[in-house]
């Protein structure tokens, strides 16, 4: 997963309503009309949030007739989570000393 995709996902997740939408989709696919019932927002506002989530790859959109159905894109979520797991292991693997001064980046040491 490249940094551009990670940045787009972080931006998408900066909205509390979008986080709540993802929580609604944990148990499986939902129709837009059911999602709309969960929130006090208009249909165009929901569409905007869904577009942001689709564009960054966090959810899938399936159209059946005039209805839109949304589901989590679990592979993207796993890759996004793996990025942070990997970030957490880097410092332990590389050590904590700064290459230029050898003190771990703390000037008071």
pLDDT > 50? residue 109 = no
As a whole number, mean pLDDT of residues 83-101 equals: 70
As a whole number, mean pLDDT of residues 14-29 equals: 96
What gap in Å lies between CA 94 and CA 22, rounded to an integer?
35
Q: Which of 49, 55, 47, 48 is nearest to 73 (CA)?
A: 55
What gap in Å lies between CA 62 and CA 28, rounded to an integer?
13
As a whole number, mean pLDDT of residues 10-32 equals: 96
Q: Which residue has the tokens 């693997």?
A: 93
pLDDT > 60? residue 13 = yes
pLDDT one-digit tens code per residue, 28-55: 999 999 999 999 999 999 999 999 999 9
**pTM for the whole thing?**
0.80
């Amino acid at each position: 997963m490249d940094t551009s995709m990670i940045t787009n996902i972080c931006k998408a997740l900066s909205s509390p309503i979008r986080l709540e939408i993802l929580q609604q989709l944990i148990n499986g696919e939902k129709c837009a009309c059911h999602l709309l019932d969960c929130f006090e927002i208009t249909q165009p506002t929901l569409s905007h949030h869904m577009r942001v989530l689709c564009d960054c790859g966090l959810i899938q959109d399936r159209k059946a007739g005039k209805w839109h159905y949304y589901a989590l894109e679990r592979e993207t979520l796993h890759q996004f989570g793996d990025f942070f797991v990997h970030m957490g292991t880097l410092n332990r693997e590389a050590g904590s000393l700064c290459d230029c001064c050898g003190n771990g980046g703390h000037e008071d040491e």
